Amino acid sequence: MNRGPESSEQDAAARVVDGARAMLGDTLAQRIVSCGEFSLAQLRALVERAALYIGGDSGPLHIAATSRVPIVGLYGPTLPARSAPWRDPSIRVAAVEPEPLPCRPCDQRVCAPGDFRCLTSIGAEQVVTAAIKCLT
Ligand code: SF4
């Protein structure tokens, strides 16, 4: 059976949720929301309740940008200078990028190296540092 990219993304999201729950233990694990399908309004309402939004340069990031929630944007194929949503300067925001790559930015239709290194090379430490910057 040929599974589409949507299924692949759902599988990846489920792995992230499972991994986060396993790391947090029984009590805190209940606070991890399972990924589901949300309407735009539901997604925005969920983001509005968050202390921080972390995500790639995608539709949900731009929905989050319509709230006053601090945002950590992860920019792989795109550049924050071009793609980051405008925000009120009083709201904290951080952009996380990979080390310079000759293929970046790209049109996102085909990954020339084939391994999406612009995203996979972003380290957890970079994201945590940006999150702390947005929360303190
Ligand atoms: S690694 Fe692939 S997706 Fe990322 S910028 Fe380079 S070509 Fe584009």
pLDDT, one tens digit per residue, over 63-117 is: 999 999 999 999 999 999 999 999 999 999 999 999 999 999 998 888 999 999 9
Query: Which residue owns the Cα nearest ligand 1 atom 6?
Result: 103
Could you tell me if the CB of 43 is within 6 A of ligand 1? no
Could you tell me if the CB of 98 is within 6 A of ligand 1? no
Is 56 in contact with 73 (CB distance < 8 Å)?
A: yes
User: Could you tell me which of 68, 55, 60 has the C-alpha nearest to residue 41?
Assistant: 60
The model carries a pTM of 0.83
3-state class percentages of the chain: helix first, strand second, coil last, to nearest 5: 45, 10, 45
Ligand 1 centroid to 9 CA: how many Å?
A: 18
Atom of ligand 1 nearest to the CA of 114: 2
Burial class from Cβ neighbours inside 10 Å (0-12, 13-18, 19+) for residue 76 reads: buried
Is 77 in contact with 108 (CB distance < 8 Å)?
A: yes
